[in-house]
């Protein structure tokens, strides 16, 4: 068990907190979705309410180790000031003398936001000297950015060498749910995977086969599995080099007594366009047609499997959901899962975005804030940013 923020004293302390403020911005640099900032508020408020001095750090976008104004954290500081109804002072850099002086003069209840960590290449390199400088601003370190916990960077792992370290409330919830589903899930357990990249999901399937009862596969990745079973997939996206692996998965699933469910009908079109003429086909996709969503019979069959499940983990959309005509499978299943009396854990990224878009966020047990990190957790990999925190 890792220490959490409530296990350490923050009163009068300089609390160095890693948050995930990597928010989407439009051309005018207005934040289009502030949910990542809002999600960090419970930990932020806890520190302030308990007399801590808060030094926040985050990355934004991919400035590739250089100072690029289009990636500065000014919009984040502004939004945080509004949300907290107080002045959040943003630094021009994340290290250096000016930061040192400012932090030295902080009072209990003050908040300082360091500039984008990734303006320095040393952040991603987990450079020890850089990590030591960051750590020098705090008395304790709080990790609340689950989305970067699978990366050993200076602000996630490096700083823990120098400071007592604990999880914030967001990371605590992620650990709670992912520990539960990977170590002690209530059965029957359905793992539903979709999205495009097969290779990303194979290690997840391999690690989870011994713990799940049902494996449901939709999205583009299903066509690689269907092809390995000699079904016609037309011009759908297939990863040819993964068909052998798919065959192996069927074998392993049968050894583990896991029921595998693949699409039995498809929404297809000849081109990937919102306006393309589309139709539903059963079983085989004819030449020249592209499978872009699961069909109605598949939705029905997936629903009946999910209805039997007490634990559901879902990662990856069931179709090309960014285009409305191909979003039905993803939407229908999201609505259905939201109503079930089961532990429902949604992997981050696209699936999480789709569920928030539909206003179903509050109806799931847990929606992960990390796409890559949640997949690695399900792969059974110990995330470096979590492993580095102090044990209770």
CA atoms within 13 A on the CB side of 283: 3
Among 75, 138, 158, 291, binds ligand AMP (CB under 6 A): 291
| Nearest-approach distance from CB 260 to ligand AMP, in angstroms | 18
Cα angle 174, 117, 21; round to 5: 45
CA-CA-CA-CA torsion sign (30, 35, 37, 41): positive
Looking at 138, 291, 349, 371, which residue is catalytic?
349
Distance CA 22, CA 346 (A): 20
Contacts with ligand AMP, 29-68, as mask; x by CB under 6 A: ----------------------------------------
Q: Which is nearer to ligand AMP, 197 or 310 (CB)?
A: 197
Tokens describing residue 4: 């959490």
Contacts with ligand AMP, 207-246, as mask; x by CB under 6 A: ------------xx----------------x---------
Q: Would you count residue 329 as binding ligand AMP (CB under 6 A)?
A: no
Q: Would you count residue 320 as binding ligand AMP (CB under 6 A)?
A: yes
> Is 52 marked active-site?
no
> Is 278 marked active-site?
no
Task: Count the site residues for ligand AMP by CB under 6 A.
Answer: 17
Among 41, 106, 196, 260, binds ligand AMP (CB under 6 A): 196
Q: Would you count residue 317 as binding ligand AMP (CB under 6 A)?
A: yes
In the complex, which residue's CB is closest to ligand AMP? 195
> Is 282 marked active-site?
no
Residue 17 pairs with which residues in a beta bridge?
Answer: 56, 142
Helices (H), 10-156: 35-49, 74-84, 97-104, 121-125, 128-135
Q: Which stretch binds ligand AMP (CB under 6 A): 52-60, 91-99, 141-149, 312-320?
A: 312-320
Q: Which stretch binds ligand AMP (CB under 6 A): 29-37, 144-152, 190-198, 358-366?
A: 190-198
> Is 195 marked active-site?
no
Nearest by Cα to 105 from 167, 47, 53, 29: 53
Distance CA 288, CA 75 (A): 47
In three-state form (DSSP H/G/I as H, E/B as E, the rest C), the secondary structure along 140-209 is EEEECCHHHCCCCCCCCCHHHHCCCEEECHHHHHHHHHHHHHHHCCCCCEEEEECCCCHHHHHHHHHHHC
Distance CA 6, CA 242 (A): 46
Can you give the binding site for ligand AMP, defined by CB under 6 A? 194-197, 200, 219-220, 237, 291-292, 316-317, 319-322, 350
List residues with catalytic annotation: 36, 197, 349, 372
């Amino acid at each position: 068990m890792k220490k959490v923020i409530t296990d350490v004293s923050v009163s009068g302390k300089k609390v160095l907190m890693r948050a995930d403020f990597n928010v989407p911005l439009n051309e005018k640099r207005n934040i289009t979705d502030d949910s990542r900032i809002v999600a960090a508020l419970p930990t932020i408020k806890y520190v302030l309410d308990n007399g801590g001095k808060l030094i926040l750090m985050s990355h934004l976008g991919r400035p590739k180790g250089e100072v690029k104004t289009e990636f500065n954290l000014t919009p984040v500081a502004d939004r945080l000031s509004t949300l907290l109804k107080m002045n959040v002072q943003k630094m021009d850099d994340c290290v250096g003398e000016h930061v040192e002086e400012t932090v030295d003069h902080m009072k209990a209840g003050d908040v300082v936001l360091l500039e984008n960590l990734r303006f320095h290449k040393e952040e991603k390199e987990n450079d020890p000297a850089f990590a030591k400088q960051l750590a020098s601003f705090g008395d304790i370190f709080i990790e609340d950015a689950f989305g970067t916990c699978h990366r050993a960077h200076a602000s996630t792992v490096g700083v823990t060498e120098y400071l007592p370290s604990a999880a914030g409330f967001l990371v605590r919830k992620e650990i709670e749910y992912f520990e539960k589903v990977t170590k002690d899930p209530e059965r029957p357990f359905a793992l539903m995977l979709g999205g495009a990249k097969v290779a990303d999901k194979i290690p997840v399937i391999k690690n989870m086969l011994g713990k799940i009862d049902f494996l449901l596969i939709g999205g583009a990745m299903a066509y690689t599995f269907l092809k390995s079973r000699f079904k016609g997939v037309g011009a759908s996206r297939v990863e040819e080099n993964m068909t052998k692996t798919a065959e192996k998965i069927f074998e392993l699933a049968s050894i583990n007594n896991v029921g595998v469910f693949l699409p039995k009908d498809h929404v297809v079109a000849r081109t990937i366009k919102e306006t393309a003429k589309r139709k539903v086909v059963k079983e085989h996709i004819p030449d020249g047609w592209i499978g872009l969503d699961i069909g109605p019979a598949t939705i029905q069959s997936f629903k009946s499997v999910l209805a039997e499940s007490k634990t559901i983990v879902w990662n990856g959309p069931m179709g090309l959901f960014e285009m409305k005509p191909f979003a039905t499978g993803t939407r229908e299943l999201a609505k259905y899962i939201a109503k079930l009396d089961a532990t429902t854990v949604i992997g981050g990224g696209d699936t999480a975005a789709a569920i928030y878009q539909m206003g179903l966020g509050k109806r799931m047990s847990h929606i992960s804030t990390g796409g890559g990190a949640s997949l690695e957790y399900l792969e059974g990999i110990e995330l470096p940013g979590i492993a580095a925190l102090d044990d209770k």
